[in-house]
Amino acid sequence: MTVKVRFAPSPTGRIHVGNIRAALTNWLFAHRHGGVFVLRIDDTDLERSTQAFEDGIETDLTWLGLTWNERYNQSKRFDIYQTAAERLKAMGKLYPCYETGEELDRRRKVQLSRGQPPIYDRAALALTPDQIAALNAEGRRPHWRFKLDGRRVKWTDLVRGECDVDTTSMSDPVLIREDGAFLYTLPSVVDDLEMGISHVVRGEDHVTNTGVQIEIFEALGGTAPIFGHFSLLVGTDGEALSKRLGSMSIMDMRDKGFEPLAVTSHLARLGTSDPLEAMASLELLSESFDFSKLGRAPARYDPADLERLNAQVLHAMPYGQAKPRLEALGVDLGEAFWLAIRTNLAMFTDVTELARLVAGPVTPMIEDADFIAQALALLPTEFDDNVWSDWVGAVKTATGAKGKGLFQPLRRALTGMDHGPEMGPLLVLIGRERAAARLAGQTA
pLDDT tens-digit map of 92-109: 999 999 999 898 999 999
Alpha-carbon Rg for the chain, nearest whole angstrom, is: 31
159: domain CATH number is 3.90.800.10
Same domain, 95 and 164: yes
Cα–Cα distance for residue pair 261/273, rounded to 1 Å: 19
Residue 444 lies in a domain: no
Residue 46 lies in a domain: yes
Same domain, 189 and 65: yes
Same domain, 109 and 192: no
pLDDT digits (tens, 9 = 90+) for 413-425: 999 999 999 999 9
Selection from 86, 43, 1, 24 nearest residue 188 by Cα? 43
Same domain, 68 and 208: yes
Same domain, 145 and 192: no
CB under 8 Å to 290, separation ≥6 — which residues? Answer: none
User: How many angstroms separate the first and last alpha carbons of the chain?
Assistant: 66
pLDDT digits (tens, 9 = 90+) for 269-279: 999 999 999 99
Give the 3-state secondary structure percentages of the chain, helix then strand then coil, rounded to 5: 50, 15, 35
Higher-confidence position of 244 and 257 = 257
Cα–Cα distance for residue pair 269/305, rounded to 1 Å: 11
Same domain, 219 and 250: no
Same domain, 283 and 164: no
Same domain, 170 and 214: no
Residue 203 lies in a domain: yes
274: domain CATH number is 1.10.1160.10
pLDDT at 337 over 80: yes
Selection from 364, 391, 386, 356 nearest residue 376 by Cα? 391
Same domain, 310 and 325: no
Average pLDDT over residues 287-296: 96
Q: Which of 152, 176, 200 is the last residue of a domain?
A: 176
The single-letter DSSP state of residue 56 is H
Domain that holds residue 141: 80-176
Average pLDDT over residues 345-357: 97
Residue 148 lies in a domain: yes
pLDDT at 246 over 70: no
List, in sequence order, the alpha helices (H) in 151-244: 185-195, 207-219
Residue 57 lies in a domain: yes
Same domain, 298 and 327: no
Same domain, 385 and 433: yes
Cα–Cα distance for residue pair 39/147, rounded to 1 Å: 30
pLDDT at 401: 97
Residue 254 lies in a domain: yes
Domain count, the chain: 5
pTM of the model: 0.93
199: domain CATH number is 3.40.50.620
Q: Which of 315, 332, 349 is the last residue of a domain?
A: 315
pLDDT at 225 over 80: yes
Q: Which of 176, 196, 219 is the last residue of a domain?
A: 176
pLDDT at 289: 97
Selection from 102, 103, 107, 99 nearest residue 131 by Cα? 99
